[in-house]
Amino acid sequence: MTLTVFDGLGDVPFYNEDIDTDADLPEAAARLRTAAERANAFLLVTPEYNGTMPAVLKNAIDWLSRPYQAGAMTDKPVAVVGTALGQYGGVWAHDEARKAAKIAGGSVLDAVTLDIPGSLNRFADNHPYTDIEVAERLTKVIDMLRAAA
Ligand SMILES: Cc1cc2nc3c(=O)[nH]c(=O)nc-3n(C[C@H](O)[C@H](O)[C@H](O)COP(=O)(O)O)c2cc1C
């Protein structure tokens, strides 16, 4: 299994049907769609902003939800994980992302969860990959995603 990080969500303009045309499609949105088309599964990793997912993630899901019923997420496994400052570890953001990804056509793995609270303290001095519990749980998430794919 190969994990590819899409490092460009912040460059994608807000979704607008008027520019979702062959002539006007923004280059960053096209790159996102191409990367998503190549993927067999999606691991969405997100913090929580004001009780939901950050707009940049919702925007990416919106772009991937079109063409309607033929977007690049259609029928592919999607898992959502992350960490946030609060005591629930971003569970609202993750639930909202699952809901949106499902409506966008993704085959969302609702039972696969990883919501790590207290991000600022827990990862103040350590990267998550050096945190044994996080590394083990994330490995299980990826195994489940691979099995679904
Ligand atoms: C605008 C904004 C809103 C946030 N809202 C929440 C929230 O509702 N719940 C929460 O647990 N954390 C919230 N946080 C904290 C983030 O989830 C996250 O832990 C923090 O921004 C650290 O991000 P980093 O891990 O990318 O450094 C918020 C942060 C920002 C900047």
Name the E strands within the chain: 42-45, 77-83, 107-108, 115-116
Decide: 72 and 131 in contact? Cβ < 8 Å.
Answer: no
Decide if 3 is inside a domain.
no
Name which residue sits closest to atom 6 of ligand 1, judged by CA: 49
Can you tell me which residue has the tokens 């960053």? 28
Name residue 144's amino acid. Answer: M
Name which residue sits closest to atom 29 of ligand 1, judged by CA: 49
Residue 108 sits in a domain whose CATH number is: 3.40.50.360
Q: Which of 53, 49, 54, 43 is nearest to 86 (CA)?
A: 49
Decide if 1 is inside a domain.
no
CA distance 68 to 80: 22
Q: What is the pTM of this model?
A: 0.96
Whole-number pLDDT of residue 41 = 98
> What does the pLDDT look like over 23-82, one tens digit per residue?
999 999 999 999 999 999 999 999 999 999 999 999 999 999 999 999 999 999 999 999
Instruction: Answer positive or negative: Cα dihedral of 45, 86, 59, 149.
Output: positive
> What does the pLDDT look like over 4-30, one tens digit per residue?
999 999 999 999 999 999 999 999 999
Decide if 35 is inside a domain.
yes
Q: Is the CB of 49 under 6 A from ligand 1?
A: yes
Decide if 63 is inside a domain.
yes
Whole-number pLDDT of residue 11 = 98
Decide if 2 is inside a domain.
no
Decide if 59 is inside a domain.
yes
**DSSP β-bridge partners for residue 79:** 43
Q: Is the CB of 47 under 6 A from ligand 1?
A: yes
> What does the pLDDT look like over 91-127, one tens digit per residue?
999 999 999 999 999 999 999 999 999 999 999 999 9
Q: Is the CB of 52 under 6 A from ligand 1?
A: no
Decide if 66 is inside a domain.
yes
Whole-number pLDDT of residue 140 = 97
Decide if 79 is inside a domain.
yes
Residues of the domain holding 131? 9-148
Whole-number pLDDT of residue 52 = 98
For residue 145, the CA-to-ligand 1 centroid distance in Å is 26
Decide: 64 and 71 in contact? Cβ < 8 Å.
Answer: yes
Cis peptide preceding 47, ω within 30 of 0: no
Phi-psi region of 51 (alpha: psi -120 to 50; beta: other; left: phi over 0): left
- Report the domain count for the chain: 1
